[in-house]
Chains A and B, each alone.
Chain A
Amino acid sequence: MIRFEQVAKRYPGGREALSELSMSMEKGEMAFLTGHSGAGKSTLLKLIALIERPTRGQVIINGQNTNGVSRRKIPAYRRQIGIVFQDHKLLYDRTVMDNVGLPLVVQGIGHREVGRRVRAALDQVGLLGKEKLFPVALSTGEQQRVGIARAVVSKPDLLIADEPTGNLDPDLSLEIMSLFQRFNDVGVTLLIASHDLALVERLGKRRIILESGRLKQGSQPGGFHR
């Protein structure tokens, strides 16, 4: 599902965020991406979402080499990936319904179908009945779940999350993580960046540890099966 081959990313200014990174994830796998801040976690996720391009090497997602995805093809490419952000990135002037439905509206799916799928997604994150509310009326944990509902509403095969529990207390974090776990149970591939080591350890999933832009000794570089 995800394959990094000798990937390096150098930002303008000379800082090398990733160097010679190779790793892979199978379809249906769930893994945590950990490491110190500045170790390259966000960069790795950005390369998957094509927010950044690799300086060297290749990133292959779902059998597609991202180097071959032109600027114009990026929207179609991103539609197959669900992204969850630390700061939710919700639109605060729109209702929960409109926020979650946006990925479907973007794809030109009809009004009724959007409503149906949004309710299904909200049901999955336990927010059914809050469609009409605005995000500010929700708690941080609920807002993050709206963000997750938006990421899964178009049923992507791959879900990436950048510090999804960064702003949440331990209980809420665990709740969010078990939510992710349930998506994984139905076959979604998940890559979650987190520096909450205690929580990650408790979930007992595969860990990809980055250190100064390289894979740290001891983490499993790929081919790992649950």
Chain B
Amino acid sequence: MNRRRSVRKDTQPRAPRRKPTGSGLRLPGLIKAYFTRHAQNLFSALGRMVRQPVGSLLTVTVIGIALCLPVALHLLVVNGKAITSSWDSAVDLTAYLKTGQSGDAVQKLAAKLRQRSDISNVDVIPADKALEEFRELSGFGEALDALTSNPIPDVLVIRPTEENLSAASVKLLADELAAWKEIDLVQVDTAWVERFHALLNILRRAVTLAAGLLAVGVVVIVGNTIRLDIQNRKNEIEVCKLIGASDAFIRRPFLYSGFWYGLGGAFIALLVVNGTLLLLQKPIRQVAGLYGSNFELMGLDPAFTLLILAGGSGLGWLGSWLAATRHMRLIEPGKDS
């Protein structure tokens, strides 16, 4: 009885029902509703993940590990470059002089070289001093005593100016000096630096390749998770389709899930990489100290950190978009009845 009355009561305001639905919303209201809806989806997707902590954590961890590798390789390249940049400016030419020249002649030669515009510094290592040093350090003292003359030549350590440090100009200079009559041999130790650079280049390629492959991996991992998610929520999707939900509406919560998976994975990757850096910082400083370098391990700069976070969440989004678009189609009401 009571119910009947309440129904009757509502039949009255039903008269203007012909007005189009949603006409009560003006444009600002619609925009607000749009953002509210997205925010709701964003947080309800997070809520769903939190309610299944183990599964979500596994997925996020796998994504994190996948993202770790390219990030770590990137750091390796960045640090490798940092190390060699300090070597680049330390390319010296070592000129071994012909033996039997007087100290004066050697000093004169050094002065002549210092005047050149393509040379910034020349150090002279006289033969006597070199022999003394060798005697002390090598432990061949007695054997050396047996020698009648000093077999070690005078040495000039020549440093080219900044603008003449390129491999080509250093080589040019070395060839020129080697032709001088006072100079026996000129040694340039840049070959291994070049080799190291070549290796770094290969590594950089490898980083790009690994990043590409692992990006595909992340897309697949997220896609597969979302696919299972969709199968678990088959009923819900079916009902939504029956009451007129658009594909975009049904897809949206899955897109946000994918976004969170990707973002979570990126966080884990950053956590692991930064943790590893922290652990390596001290031993590397020690090693650097032994080599007389004050090299510091370079960490992730803020821009790259942002790139990882954006990339991770973007890949998650892409993976879920692909999976949702494909698998949503397969769920149609009445398909199985």
Interface residues of A (CB under 8 A from B): 46, 49, 51-52, 72, 74-79, 83, 89-91, 102-103, 105-111, 113, 120, 123-124, 126, 128, 150, 154-155, 179, 182, 185-186
Contact = CB atoms under 8 A, between A and B. Distances in A.
B239 interface: yes
Contact of B236 (A91, A110, A120): A91
B34 A108 contact: yes
A123 B245 contact: no
Interface of B: 2-3, 6-7, 9-11, 14, 17, 21-22, 24-25, 29-30, 32-34, 36-37, 235-236, 238-247, 249, 332-334
The 5 closest A-B pairs by CB, nearest first: A126-B3, A79-B244, A78-B244, A51-B334, A110-B33
Contacts of B246: 75-76, 106
Chain A interface mostly: helix
Contacts of B22: 107-109
Contact of B244 (A52, A76, A123, A182): A76
Given A107-B21, A123-B7, 4 more contacts: A76-B246, A78-B241, A103-B244, A108-B34
B25 A126 contact: no
B231 to A, nearest CB: 16
B242 A110 contact: no
B239 A78 contact: no
Nearest to B6: A123
B244 A106 contact: yes
A55 to B, nearest CB: 15
Contacts of B240: 102, 106
Nearest to A155: B17
B10 A120 contact: yes
Nearest to B19: A155
A130 to B, nearest CB: 13
B262 to A, nearest CB: 25
Given A108-B34, A185-B11, A186-B14, A126 B6 contact: yes
Nearest to A42: B337
Contact of B21 (A91, A109, A128, A182): A109
A52 B36 contact: no
A111 B243 CA distance: 18
13 contacts: A49-B333, A51-B332, A77-B244, A89-B238, A89-B242, A102-B240, A102-B243, A106-B245, A107-B21, A123-B7, A124-B6, A126-B2, A186-B11
A102 B7 contact: no
Nearest to A85: B242
Nearest to A90: B239
A120 B37 CA distance: 22
Contacts of B17: 155
Contacts of B33: 108-111
A83 B242 contact: yes
A126 B244 contact: no
Contacts of B6: 123-124, 126, 128
Nearest to A89: B239
Kindly name the residue among A83, A90, A106 whose own CB sees the greatest number of chain B CB atoms within 10 A. A106
B233 to A, nearest CB: 9
Contacts of A79: 243-244
Contacts of A51: 242, 332-334
A75 B333 CA distance: 12
A63 to B, nearest CB: 15
Kindly name the residue among B2, B29, B235, B333 whose own CB sees the greatest number of chain A CB atoms within 10 A. B333
A49 B238 CA distance: 13
Nearest to B236: A91
Contacts of B242: 49, 51, 78, 83, 89
B239 A91 contact: yes
A110 B244 contact: no
A154 B21 contact: yes
B3 A91 contact: no
Contacts of A150: 243
B41 to A, nearest CB: 11
A46 B21 contact: no
A72 B21 CA distance: 20
Contacts of B2: 126
A75 B29 contact: no
A111 B333 CA distance: 27
Contacts of B236: 91
B245 A75 contact: yes
Contacts of B34: 108
A182 B37 CA distance: 34
B303 to A, nearest CB: 37
Contact of B25 (A77, A113, A123): A113
Given A102-B239, A126-B3, A108 B30 contact: yes
A91 B235 contact: yes
Contacts of B249: 75, 106
Contacts of B25: 109-110, 113
